[in-house]
Amino acid sequence: MSILTVNTRPFSDQKPGTSGLRKKVPVFKQAHYLENFVQSIFDSIAAPQDASLVLGGDGRYYNREAIQIILKMAAANGFGAVLVGRGGILSTPAASCVIRKHKTFGGIILSASHNPGGPDGDFGIKFNSSNGGPATETVTEAIFAKSKTIFSYRILDVADVPLDQLCETTLGGMKVRVFDPVSDYAELMESLFDFAAIRALLKGGFKIKFDAMHAVNGPYAKEILEARLGAPAGSVMNGVPLEDFGGGHPDPNLTYAHDLVEIMYGVDAPDFGAASDGDGDRNMILGKHFFVTPSDSLAIVAANATLVSGYKQGLAGIARSMPTSAAADRVAKALNIPCYETPTGWKFFGNLMDAGKVTLCGEESFGTSSSHVREKDGLWAVLFWLNVLAVRKQSVEAIVRGHWEKFGRNFYSRYDYEGLPTEAANGVMQHLRESFSALTGKQFDKYTVQVCDDFCYTDPVDGSISKNQGIRILFADGSRIIFRLSGTGTEGATLRVYLEQYEPDVSRHHLDAQEALKELIGIALGISELQTLTGRDQPTVIT
């Protein structure tokens, strides 16, 4: 058993995106590619000798092989212990939970979140800090800088570690503990929610269906929803994690979670439906024949927080990403608490939570969570809704419509144009930037452009500045059109267009969002020249 120092050369494409480094599996399987990035992490985070790490992933293709490489490199780089989820499995929110509970130096999470898996699918890796949250931009920039100058990496020459049984072994001088990836997280959920009330709801005939999409949350949902809360066997569908997610796209939206949507809009539909994504941090909430937008979900969770046992003391504040609708802002105003608008990316919420400024956070991209961890948490959101439903004893639709009646409805939609040529997507953004002066003050029927800008965020905790976070077209009546390039894809570019219009008139709340936003959609396509510049007549996904 010896430590090898392996000569290598830099790769030019290892800049982390919104949530770590994501590439196609064949890219990661290139000689030295994963090793270079892992060594760049270890060289950048200044971990003390004998520090401990958490390690695991969403079970996608290449997960197990990558874990073995990382374990051997951690041992060669002087780490004292690594806690790895059994079978290499660990959801992203559970990883955050374990990092915080066991006070490790941080953790490495292997996932490409909601992106497809398999031999030709996507893979990803990111470092989470000791607070359980994604590394700050300062750390990710240091990792990228190191990746451009790396010339060698260290790895232990040793056999693989068995991952499928709970055990403790040694790798060189480093302890490897294979632990139950579900138990710590399940205990945390039980401390936050009234499991007795939810159990009574389910025992009373309230039917649920949870689609794990053959992704990481299957074991978590089976343990919590079926074993601990008593939901009937089969309430969790697609509950076995598969390396290729069963050939599906593990993104919990109306397009990709079509099996669940058919059930929830079918005859004899369950009362409540939900889905989560590849690594378990996103969620979709459905009622019987009724879809809850993520923006509305965040606002409704905030408005009902004191009904839930772990949040009876109230909220310190709310944070939402800039493209997320202002529905949560209205709740915050009513509760007389602050609401922060941040760039997209959960790392921006971490400072606010660590400073005690916010309790709840959410993004329109199906992510909601609270300060119990420092990541989005799909199953947490499901349990929050079930707790509220158990207390209020109303349907999902009734709760949402009651919320609209009290606060008004923010009609909201997102158009995703995936896999665009990067030059074409950048061309749209540049065209919009060049149009700012011409657009400001311009009238489009009932809409008057008040402000055009490229969103810039100053962190209220550390003063750091994040520029160019999305183009905003803000209208005098509070309506908004947002254009943003996503940082989570691995192929081409994804251009997202967000549309929002506030409607206080209850008599119009029944309208379909696409109908209500028809004019804004036309304005967005016109001012961006998106169809001409990209050649795309239709978005890939509408949510």
Give the pLDDT confidence score for residue 136 in this predicted structure: 87
Q: Let me know: does 96 contact 133? Beta carbons within 8 Å.
A: yes
Q: How far is CA 529 from the centre of its chain?
A: 30
Distances (CA, A) of 61 to 88, 178, 195: 11, 20, 34
Candidates 399, 400, 221; CA nearest to 293 is: 400
Give the pLDDT confidence score for residue 488 in this predicted structure: 56
Mind listing the pLDDT tens digit for each residue in 291-335? Answer: 999 999 999 999 999 999 999 999 999 999 999 999 999 999 999
The C-alpha atoms of residue 156 and residue 477 are separated, in whole angstroms, by: 62
Q: pLDDT band at 346, cuts 50/70/90? A: confident
Give the pLDDT confidence score for residue 167 in this predicted structure: 95
Structure tokens at 82: 């690594």
Q: How does DSSP assign 148-207, residue by residue?
A: TT--EEEEEE-PPPP-SS-EEEEETTEEEEEE-TTHHHHHHHHHHS-HHHHHHHHHTT--
Give domain limits for the chain: 2-181, 185-407, 409-542
Mind listing the pLDDT tens digit for each residue in 141-190? Answer: 999 999 999 999 999 999 999 999 999 999 999 999 999 999 999 999 99
Average pLDDT over residues 425-447: 94
- Helix (H), strand (E), coil (C) string for 478-492: CCEEEEEECCCCCCC
What CATH number belongs to 2-181? 3.40.120.10
What are the catalytic residues? 113
148 CB neighbour count, 10 Å cutoff = 12
Mind listing the pLDDT tens digit for each residue in 347-406? Answer: 889 999 999 999 999 999 899 999 999 999 999 999 999 999 999 999 999 999 999 999
CATH architecture entry for 185-407 = 3-Layer(aba) Sandwich (3.40)
Q: Let me know: does 380 contact 369? Beta carbons within 8 Å.
A: yes
Mind listing the pLDDT tens digit for each residue in 98-155? Answer: 999 999 999 999 999 999 999 999 999 999 999 999 998 889 999 999 999 999 999 9
Average pLDDT over residues 213-234: 98
Pick the CATH number of 409-542 from 3.10.350.10, 3.10.440.10, 3.30.310.50, 3.10.620.30: 3.30.310.50
pTM greater than 0.85: yes
Mind listing the pLDDT tens digit for each residue in 35-92? Answer: 999 999 999 999 999 999 999 999 999 999 999 999 999 999 999 999 999 999 999 9
The answer to whether domain 2-181 and domain 409-542 are alike in fold is no
Candidates 474, 469, 465; CA nearest to 436 is: 474
Mind listing the pLDDT tens digit for each residue in 460-502? Answer: 998 988 999 999 999 999 999 999 998 655 567 999 999 999 9
